[in-house]
Amino acid sequence: METNRLVSSLCYFSIFFAGFIFPIAVYFIVDCPEVKMHAKKALISHLIPFITIPLVFFPLIFTGGEPTLLAVGGIMTFLIIGVINLGILIWNVVKGIKVLVN
């Protein structure tokens, strides 16, 4: 049981060292349903920052090329993306610690 908790926790902590590759490998290699569940959650949370990348282009689309609006929209977009990615990072660390401790 200790190994399962450690592997589940590493799935969340892999955001620092292996990105989404480690949770995918764990999901297909390990047979324990609980570890698979944590690997799937970690994988989804690792993919969210990649999903936010297209948001960078929203200011270009919705400002019509106006320089002031483009600058403000760009700054706001980067702030929103930064907050989302920081939240995902913190969530992964908290979940990894919870799985390891419980």
User: Could you report the per-residue pLDDT of 55-89, keeping only the tens digit for each?
Assistant: 877 777 777 777 787 788 888 888 988 999 999 99
Task: Domain count for the chain, please give it.
Answer: 1
Return d(Cα 66, Cα 56) in angstroms, integer: 16
1 confidence band (pLDDT: 50, 70, 90): low
Residue 38 belongs to domain spanning: 2-101
Q: Read off the tokens for 25.
A: 């490998």
Query: Maximum Cα–Cα distance for the chain, whole Å?
Result: 58
Q: What is the DSSP letter of 52?
A: T
Q: Say whether 5 sits in a helix, a strand or coil.
A: helix
Contact present, 98 and 14 (Cβ < 8 Å):
no
pTM to 2 decimal places: 0.82
User: Could you report the per-residue pLDDT of 22-37, keeping only the tens digit for each?
Assistant: 999 999 999 999 999 9
Mean pLDDT of the chain: 88
